[in-house]
């Protein structure tokens, strides 16, 4: 039991670190940067349990909130979480948790691929909704403008990142690389 718990904590920490590392691949595009984080968050949802995905993404947010430079562009602090892009970051926690839950529910009745696609889509939709809403509130943009700035330019790229995460998740599960948290 202790070994399983320790292994789960290590895996969750590694996933949080992966999300942080993928923030460093950051290309500024207006208010919202392009990062590889969506791929890491989708991967978390596809290979971890809902509680594991929640823990890993929450640890990531906590690290950034207390001042470690783990957000896009090496940024950190509560100001980032309360700023224009903070909704996307908060969406990571909710999206990964719900995506893992959707995947877990669907795996009982559908193929792993269908469950993965549904889980990945859940992550992307939730992250975009949280990000889009906070972007409108914090910047004062209208909902259409915020969608044009914070969602539309990223959609195709995030679908491609999700597809990559689905491939990685299938490979990880095939090799037995991660325990269920």
Q: Which of 170, 171, 181, 176 is nearest to 7 (CA)?
A: 181
* pLDDT tens-place string over residues 16-31: 999 999 999 888 777 7
152 pLDDT higher than 80: yes
Q: Tell which residue, 124, 117, 97, 119, has the closest CA to residue 37.
A: 124
8 pLDDT more than 90: no
More reliable by pLDDT, 76 or 29: 76
| Count of other CB atoms within 10 angstroms of residue 86 | 22
pLDDT above 60: residue 179: no
In this structure, what token pair is assigned to residue 170? 């299938």
Report pLDDT for 159. 96
Residue with more model confidence, 175 or 128 = 128
Domain segments of the chain: what residues?
2-175
Which pLDDT tens digit goes with each residue over 34-75?
899 999 999 999 999 999 999 999 999 999 999 999 999 899
**Among candidates 60, 64, 93, 88, which has minimal Cα distance to 78?**
64
- Structurally, at CATH architecture level, domain 2-175 sits in Orthogonal Bundle (1.10)
89 pLDDT more than 60: yes
- Check pLDDT > 50 for residue 180: no
Rounded distance between C-alpha atoms, residue 107 and residue 72, angstroms: 33
Separation CA 103–CA 171 (nearest Å): 16
Question: With bands split at pLDDT 50, 70 and 90, how would you rate the model's confidence at 33?
Answer: confident
**111, two tokens:** 């193929």
């Amino acid at each position: 039991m202790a070994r399983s718990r320790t292994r789960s904590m290590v895996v969750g920490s590694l996933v949080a670190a992966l999300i942080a590392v993928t923030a460093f691949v950051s290309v500024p595009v207006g208010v919202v940067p392009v990062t590889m984080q969506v791929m890491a968050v989708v991967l978390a949802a596809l290979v971890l349990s809902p509680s594991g995905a929640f823990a890993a993404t929450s640890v990531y947010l906590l690290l950034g909130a207390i001042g470690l430079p783990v957000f896009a562009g090496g940024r950190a602090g509560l100001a980032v979480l309360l700023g224009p892009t903070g909704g996307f970051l908060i969406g990571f926690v909710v999206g990964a948790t719900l995506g893992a839950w959707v995947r877990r529910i669907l795996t009982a009745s559908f193929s792993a691929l269908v469950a993965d696609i549904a889980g990945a889509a859940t992550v992307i939709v939730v992250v975009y909704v949280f990000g889009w809403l906070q972007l409108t509130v914090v910047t004062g943009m209208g909902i259409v403008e915020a969608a044009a700035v914070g969602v539309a330019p990223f959609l195709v790229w995030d679908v491609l990142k999700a597809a990559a995460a689905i491939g990685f998740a299938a490979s990880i599960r095939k090799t037995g690389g991660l325990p269920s948290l």
